[in-house]
Amino acid sequence: MEIVFGGIMLFGLLYLLMMIFGGLGEALDFGVDGAMESVGLDSVFGISDGGGEATGLGCSVIAAFLAGFGAVGLTGSVSGWNVLPMLLLAFAFGWLLARGVAVVMKYVYAQESTAVYSIDSMIGKTARVTIDSAAGKTGEVIVEDEQILKYPVQEVDGESLKRGDMVLILDVNGRFLRVKKQ
């Protein structure tokens, strides 16, 4: 059991650290936000923006849960705790750690600087879709101006977005652009 819990903890911890310090948050997203939203886990772990939309925190929250679950499970295995209470405690600690990471990451995202573009300057610009996204799901666009920047987007009419589509930026909500397909 020690090897299983140790592996879970190590995987969660290393993945979380790589996402925070190594910039792998976007590179290895695995579509977790959409999957968590579709089964209702976005609200359980606190990664919903209040409107039922996942906020891009799925992988970091899962990594934190795995690290916490594995750490308590490893401690309980080595200490000879009873299996059922150990699993319940490991799950509870993993859940609390995941919620804490969600709160911290939401705060960090809210504090991100918008020095390059103010909200007023983003509205009315056009952007190019970089990845396909299903209707109602989060997509991604590139805004080309003085600098080329990528942003997560949500189409206001719930239409699907295809790579290469041009969209009009209607509103900015946190780190998401609300867009309309042209």
Domain boundary among 111, 132, 163: 111
Domain boundary among 60, 79, 111: 111
Dihedral in degrees, nearest 10, Cα atoms 15, 16, 17, 18: 50
How would residue 119 be classed by pLDDT, with cut points 50, 70 and 90?
low
Q: Which domain holds residue 174?
A: 119-181
Same domain, 101 and 156: no
Same domain, 156 and 136: yes
Domain boundary among 111, 127, 146: 111
Same domain, 156 and 98: no
Same domain, 101 and 160: no
Mean pLDDT over all residues of the chain? Answer: 77
Q: How far is residue 84's CA from residue 67's CA, in Å, rounded to a whole number?
A: 19
Q: How far is residue 180's CA from residue 161's CA, in Å, rounded to a whole number?
A: 10
Q: The pTM is what?
A: 0.48
Note whether 69 and 94 are within 8 A (CB): yes
Same domain, 47 and 78: yes
Same domain, 34 and 76: yes
Q: How many structural domains is the chain composed of?
A: 2
How would residue 22 be classed by pLDDT, with cut points 50, 70 and 90?
low
Quote the pLDDT of residue 55. Answer: 47
For residue 158, pLDDT over 80 is answered with yes
